[in-house]
A = this chain, B = another copy of it.
């Protein structure tokens, strides 16, 4: 979706910086972390990057993907998300070699046995391994 329309749809002001951030998300298939945004959008204030990411996450434009290492990356949401709820029970792949992270879509959810009294509202799966590029490089 156009950056302008996407922002307006979520009741956010359309600013140059936000459009650049969205463009960066669009041109990358892999998940992005705040460092990458800082570096690529040259005169980018760290604070603004963090606030932008938080705003986008709260609005349902992007979703948070934790690494196995504890690092956090973000990727664009599909259309189902808004400020009320994220719907991201899809799996993510994390490359142990280059630390790249991507979304894996199109598969059902595994049945989980929870202890009694527990309730679940979101299931995230992280698949760790080696991506195609790193496998070729070996």
Q: Which of A1-9, A11-19, A36-44, A68-76 contacts B (4 or more CB under 8 A)?
A: A68-76
- The listed residue with most B CB atoms (<10 A of its CB), out of A104, A115, A118, A133, is A118
Task: Please indicate the chain B residues that have their CB under 8 angstroms from the CB of A69 in the complex.
Answer: 64, 66, 72
The answer to whether B106 and A118 have CB atoms under 8 Å apart is: no
Task: Please indicate the chain B residues that have their CB under 8 angstroms from the CB of A70 in the complex.
Answer: 64, 66, 70-72
A21 on the B face (CB < 8 A): no
In the bound complex, what is the Cα–Cα distance between A122 and B128 (angstroms)? 5
Query: Whole-angstrom distance from the CB of A100 to the nearest CB of chain B?
Result: 11
A132 on the B face (CB < 8 A): yes
* Closest chain B residue, CB of each to CB of A68: B66
A27 on the B face (CB < 8 A): no
